């Protein structure tokens, strides 16, 4: 079993990973114990799973990891415990373990940044196996030692070599803040099997630095327990960090140390992988001319100087507010490169279905809402995804069951539940009837009313078929007064803004707003009530309306503006999960289809001409291989008509998920920006091959490395509320491409840590023509 500590909703708890590896049971919420150490001390690791079961409280992908043991009373570290490490350092071999201490305050969790202190340029890696004590004791014999072990974890005993070598004592170099990585979990010995065959591998930016097996330890696990328990009593939850193999950075020629922007990974088979980005207590400017600095001076909300502390100290006067980093990192504010602002607010007003682990969870939420709603009131929900449900319900069509249970849960209320992708929805019969949808209703262009083999509508609506129900919803909502409409929109803006700011989002590219909603945003900006800066794409207007009205809406960002409008959003295809992405070849699991064309190419092409005429950018949603090719072709045709270089226009392809290898170089050659969402890669990764097959998946899907190497510029985001707005999760997905299965999705296509940060800051600013205003920490 895998036990872990984590943070959810600002509360630290502990629990264990479910048997399917996708969820976490919150044992802290379900028991009297407040920490994993307490549960270990109470000998509760066997009884808790029996009491709590295997139903996930949280998705593993949604938690923030904490150090496996958050509050150990002792962390005893063993040095020079592999022969190869003794040989490369010229030390050790005294016959007894070399033991020193770490303190809990120096620990950092899985996925959290290790901090290179400003005092050091030699922060070194030391991949190690951590042994967590279960039953405490004193003077424990080797023959009984392993009975005292609760489990094993992974440790990166990060070492500040300058301070480690100042004296014969290791302690100073081992206890700088956030230099000791510990995680992602503790695996119990019964699941590990042969403890002598654990294999430890350290990778720095993907390159193997260390590799050894646990049978090569000079002093084995049992001997370490015997030795340590001789001089101090071991207590439940104590951690013994058992030593690092050869290959440390300091012993290499030339030396190799961890630096800002690096990614350090310690894999211990079969436990898992501990991953940490490396940052300095520094200012990461993302300005190629400045690099990383240590101080910034700001006057009247404008950066006036960036440099060393000595260079910035003259700017400090008697009234200057000084904010010390204290080992923390200052970066440019994150820019959400593609999201849906009002939908983010709306998602907090309706049923949140994103955590549902099975269809019955959704039915239960709908039933509870129906009990509280008057007859006839619509019930809305967002965020469900059938691939999270673990197993397919009997009688399902396209992976989704018939709406029978929804009909029973809410017989008197229309129910409309939007898919996580935004490209499908699920409705009960009451909602279908309100929309005039029956078994004989024809599919609308660009959409599908999903039916059984007998022709019965299941309730699942793909792409443009959703609009049939949305017309009925619009009629229902039209009964509201103008005051109610305005109050609802204001609440959405407030909720969305609070979510954005809580996650460090300072600017937001809103992928689609009508002229009416832009008017509403403008009124809020005029009143100083927009909570975050918006870069808004015009969406949902006809070409005739845009030809007439666009000039009155052109408003590039200027100075401290909170609203910029200079782009148009179009959509050529749908989502892969709903078989809506337009492919060059048919789906392997739906051979009669190559996807859907949602908006006519000719119509989008005319929009492109209108955009050039009025000085607007075009941002086209394209997910499938055919959609990306057609969009690139369309852009080229329009540019040729106008004899204009495309890189001046900064036109974008939103999502750019599946691209034929022949089309990848065209992004860089044409100056087309790929506006991707890093977190989509790791969310979709486990099931993409079921749609495309393995060879096509590898060749076409999320090929960021190929795009970057061919000269393309990449912006990044989350497509919120399709995914959680958290930029750290999407940043990590961009660098590690680690899926919730514990496997990386074609890791060779990952961004470097600095490329990922740039995609979320400077390149997103560039994609909005705002790089002179934001995206880097630069003077002016």
Omega of the bond leading into 254 within 30 degrees of 0 (cis): yes
Q: Are residues 87 and 46 in the same domain?
A: no
The answer on 83 and 202 residing in a single domain is yes
Residue 679 counted as domain residue: no
Domain boundary among 46, 65, 84: 65
Q: Are residues 20 and 123 in the same domain?
A: no
Residue 340 lies in a domain: no
Are both 125 and 262 inside the same structural domain?
Answer: yes
d(Cα 377, Cα 230) in Å, to the nearest integer? 70
Same domain, 110 and 135: yes
Last residue of a domain, one of 41, 65, 89: 65
Q: Which of 27, 3, 23 is nearest to 13 (CA)?
A: 27
Q: Is residue 524 part of a domain?
A: no
Domain that holds residue 14: 2-65
Check whether residue 165 and residue 299 sit in a common domain: no
- Do residue 46 and residue 177 come from a single domain? no
Q: pLDDT digits over 274-326, tens only? A: 999 987 657 899 999 998 888 999 999 999 999 987 799 899 999 999 987 86
Asked, for residue 637, whether it belongs to a domain, the answer is no
Model pTM above 0.85? no
CA 729 from chain centre, in angstroms, equals: 2
Closest CA to 22 of 67, 54, 48: 54
Do residues 137 and 265 both lie within one domain? yes
Q: What is the pLDDT of residues 421-445, one digit of tens each?
A: 888 999 999 999 999 999 999 999 8
Residue 80 falls inside a structural domain: yes
Strand extents, DSSP E, 464-587: 505-513, 533-538, 563-571
Q: What is the pLDDT of residues 125-172, one digit of tens each?
A: 999 999 999 999 999 999 999 999 999 999 999 999 999 888 888 889
Q: Which residue has the higher pLDDT, 266 or 356?
A: 266
Indicate whether 161 and 93 sit together in one domain: yes
Q: What is the pLDDT of residue 749?
A: 97
Average of per-residue pLDDT across 646-665: 96
Distances (CA, A) of 531 to 147, 484, 508, 509, 629: 56, 21, 10, 14, 37
3-state secondary structure 557-594: CCCCCCEEEEEEEEECCCCCCCCCCCCCCCCCCCCCCC
Determine the average pLDDT of the residues in 469-489. Answer: 91
The enclosing domain of 258 has a CATH number of 3.90.850.10
Residue where a domain terminates, one of 280, 301, 319: 280
How far is C-alpha 701 from the geometric centre of its chain's CA atoms? 17
pLDDT at 327 over 80: no
In a domain? residue 265: yes
- Whether 134 and 248 map to the same domain: the answer is yes
**Predicted pLDDT of residue 711:** 95
Other C-beta atoms lying within 10 Å of the C-beta of residue 700: 22
SS3 at position 327: coil
Q: Are residues 188 and 175 in the same domain?
A: yes
Domain-embedded: residue 491: no
Among 167-171, 293-297, 619-623, 694-698, which is the least confidently predicted range?
Answer: 167-171
Q: Which burial class, exposed, middle or buried, applies to 94 when counting CB atoms under 10 A from its CB (0-12, 13-18, 19+)?
A: exposed
- My answer on whether 261 and 318 are in the same domain is no
pLDDT at 192: 97
* Cβ-based neighbour number of residue 706 at 10 Å: 18
Q: Measured in Å, how far apart are the chain's first and last C-alpha atoms?
A: 54
**pLDDT value at position 281?**
57
Residue 422 lies in a domain: no
Q: How many independent structural domains does the chain possess?
A: 3
């Amino acid at each position: 079993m895998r036990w872990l500590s984590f943070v959810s909703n600002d509360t630290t708890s502990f629990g264990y990973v479910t048997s399917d590896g996708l969820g976490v049971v919150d044992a802290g919420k379900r028991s009297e114990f407040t920490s994993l150490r307490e549960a270990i001390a109470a000998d509760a690791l066997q009884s808790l799973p029996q009491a709590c079961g295997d139903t996930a409280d949280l998705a593993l992908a949604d938690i923030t990891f904490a150090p496996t043991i958050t509050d150990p009373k002792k962390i005893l570290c063993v040095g020079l415990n592999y022969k190869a490490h003794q040989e490369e350092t010229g030390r050790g071999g005294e016959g007894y373990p070399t033991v020193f201490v770490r303190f809990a305050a120096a620990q950092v969790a899985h996925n959290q940044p290790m901090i290179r202190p400003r005092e050091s340029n030699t922060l070194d890696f030391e991949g190690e196996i951590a042994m967590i004590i279960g039953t405490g004791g004193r003077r424990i014999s080797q023959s009984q030692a392993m009975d005292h072990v609760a489990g094993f974890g992974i440790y990166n005993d990060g070492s500040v070599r300058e301070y480690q070598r100042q004296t014969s004592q290791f302690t100073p170099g081992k206890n700088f803040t956030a230099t000791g990585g510990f995680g992602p979990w503790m695996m119990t010995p019964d699941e590990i099997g042969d403890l002598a065959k654990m294999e430890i591998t350290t990778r720095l930016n993907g390159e193997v630095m260390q590799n050894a097996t646990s049978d090569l330890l000079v002093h084995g696990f049992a001997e370490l327990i015997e030795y340590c328990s001789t001089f101090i009593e071991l207590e439940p939850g104590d951690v013994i960090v058992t030593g690092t193999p050869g290959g440390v950075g300091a012993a290499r020629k030339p030396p190799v140390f961890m630096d800002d922007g690096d990614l350090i990974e310690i894999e211990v088979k079969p436990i898992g992988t501990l991953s940490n980005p490396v940052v300095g207590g520094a200012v990461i400017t993302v300005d190629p001319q400045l690099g990383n600095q240590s101080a910034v001076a700001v006057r009247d909300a404008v950066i006036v100087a960036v440099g060393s502390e000595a260079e910035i100290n003259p700017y400090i006067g008697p009234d200057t507010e000084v904010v010390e980093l204290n080992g923390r990192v200052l970066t440019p504010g994150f820019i959400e490169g593609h999201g849906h602002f009002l939908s983010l607010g709306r998602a907090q007003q309706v049923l949140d279905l994103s955590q549902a682990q099975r269809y019955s969870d959704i039915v239960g939420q709908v039933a509870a809402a129906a009990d509280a709603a008057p007859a006839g009131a619509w019930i809305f929900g967002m965020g469900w995804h059938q691939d999270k449900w673990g197993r397919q319900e009997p009688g399902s069509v396209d992976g989704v069951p018939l709406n029978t249970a929804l009909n029973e849960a809410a017989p008197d209320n229309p129910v409309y539940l939007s898919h996580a992708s935004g490209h499908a929805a699920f409705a009960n019969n009451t909602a279908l009837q309100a929309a005039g949808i029956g078994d004989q209703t024809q599919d609308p262009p660009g959409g599908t009313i999903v039916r059984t083999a007998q022709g019965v509508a299941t309730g699942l609506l793909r792409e443009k078929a959703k609009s049939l129900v949305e017309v009925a919803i619009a009629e229902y909502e039209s009964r509201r007064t103008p005051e109610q409409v305005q109050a609802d929109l204001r609440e959405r803006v407030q909720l969305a803004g609070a979510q954005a700011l809580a996650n460090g989002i300072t600017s937001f590219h809103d992928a689609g707003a009508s002229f009416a909603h832009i008017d509403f945003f403008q009124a809020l900006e005029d009143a100083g009530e927009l909570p975050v800066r918006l870069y808004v794409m015009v969406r949902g207007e006809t070409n005739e309306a845009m030809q007439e009205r666009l000039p009155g809406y052109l408003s590039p960002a200027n100075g401290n503006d909170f609203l910029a409008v200079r782009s148009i959003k179009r959509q050529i295809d749908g989502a892969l999960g709903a078989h809506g992405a337009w492919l060059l070849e048919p789906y392997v699991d739906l051979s009669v289809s190559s996807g859907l064309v949602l908006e006519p190419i000719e119509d989008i092409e005319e929009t492109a001409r209108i955009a050039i005429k009025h000085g607007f950018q075009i941002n086209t949603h394209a997910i499938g291989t055919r959609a990306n090719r057609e969009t690139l072709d369309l852009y080229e045709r329009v540019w040729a008509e106008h004899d204009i270089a495309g890189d001046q226009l900064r036109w974008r392809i939103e999502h750019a998920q599946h691209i034929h290898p022949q089309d990848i170089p065209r992004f860089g050659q044409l100056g087309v920006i790929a506006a991707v969402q890093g977190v989509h890669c790791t969310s979709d990764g486990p099931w993409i091959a079921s749609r495309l097959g393995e060879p096509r998946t590898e060749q076409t899907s999320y090929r960021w490395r190929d795009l970057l190497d061919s000269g393309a510029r990449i912006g990044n985001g989350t497509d919120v509320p399709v995914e959680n707005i958290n930029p750290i999760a999407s940043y990590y997905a961009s660098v590690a491409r680690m899926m919730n299965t514990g496997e990386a999705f074609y890791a060779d296509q990952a961004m470097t840590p600095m490329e990922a940060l740039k995609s979320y800051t400077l390149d997103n600013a560039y994609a909005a023509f705002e790089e002179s205003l934001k995206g880097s920490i630069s003077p002016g």
